């Protein structure tokens, strides 16, 4: 079991290159500009909340998957982080909903 996991960890050692980091940097910049732009677009007003949440989730996932290399690393890390974030979101939504 240990051996197998070790092989996977070694095989997955191909981390992102400088090019991919720069690409993500540019994406983050563009997404931030889009985020700020959409709040001044009257046409988007009715769907603004989901759009903003979506854009921010996109940035979140970009940083987590590439900069924090979850895309390349052991699934164990992604699993723990996902459990923490999902639990955090569920509890935050529940408490906010109950107290709203």
Partner 1 sequence: MATTTLERSFWQALPKPRARTGFWSWVTTVDHKRIGILYFWTALAFFLIGGVEALLIRLQLARPEQDLVAPDLFNQLFTMHATTMIFLAIMPLTAAFFNYFIPLLVGARDVAFPKLNALSYWMFLAGGIFLNSSWVLGGPSDAGWFGYPNYSLSEFNPGLGVDFWIIGLLLAGIGTLVSGFNFIVTILNMRAPGMSLMRMPMFAWATLVTSFLIVFSFPVITVALLLLLFDRVFGTVFFDVFSGADLTLYHHLFWVFGHPEVYIIVLPAMGIVSEVLPVFSRKPLFGYSVMVFSTMLIGFVGFGVWSHHLFTVGMGPVVNTIFSLATMIIAVPTGIKMFNWIGTLFGGRLRFTAAMLYSLGFLALFLIGGLTGVMLSAAPSNTQIHHTYFVVGHFHYVMIGGALFSLMSALHYWGPKMFGRMLDERLGKVAFWTLFVGFNLTFFPMNILGVMGMPRRIYTYSAGMGWDGLNATSTLGALIMAVSILITLYNLVTSLRNGERAPADPWDGRTLEWAIPSPAPEYNFARLPNVSSRDELWVRKHPQLAEGAAVAASAESDGPAEPIAMPGGSYMPLLVSLGLFIAGYGLLYSMPVFVGGIVLSLLGLIGWGFEGDNMRIIQPGGEQ
Partner 2 sequence: MSHSSHAASMPAGAAAHGHEHHTSLGIPNHKLATWLFIASESMFFAALITTYMVFRYRSVVGPHPDEVVNIPLTTVSTFILLMSSLTMALGVSAAQRGESKAVGRFLLFTILGGIGFLVIQFYEWWHLAHHYGLTWNTNIFGSIFYILTGFHKAHVIFGMIWLAVLAVSAFRGTLRREHAVHVDVAGLYWHFVDVVWIVIFTVVFLLTEAGV
Residue 6, C-beta contacts closer than 8 angstroms, at least 6 positions apart: none
Query: Which x/- pattern over 30-69 shows residues binding partner 2 (rule: CB under 8 A)?
Result: --x--xx--x-----x--xx--xx-xx--xx--xx-xxx-
Among 41, 57, 84, 93, binds partner 1 (CB under 8 A): 84
Report if residue 82 touches partner 1, rule: CB under 8 A: no
Report if residue 4 touches partner 1, rule: CB under 8 A: no
């Amino acid at each position: 079991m240990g051996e197998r996991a070790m092989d996977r960890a070694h095989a997955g050692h191909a981390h992102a290159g400088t090019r991919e980091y720069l690409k993500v940097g540019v994406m983050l910049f563009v997404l931030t500009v889009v985020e700020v732009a959409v709040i001044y677009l009257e046409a988007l007003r009715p769907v603004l909340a989901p759009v903003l949440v979506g854009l921010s989730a996109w940035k979140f996932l970009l940083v987590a998957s590439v900069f924090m290399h979850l895309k390349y690393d052991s699934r164990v890390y992604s699993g723990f982080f996902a459990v923490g974030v999902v639990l955090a979101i569920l509890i935050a939504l529940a408490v906010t909903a109950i107290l709203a």
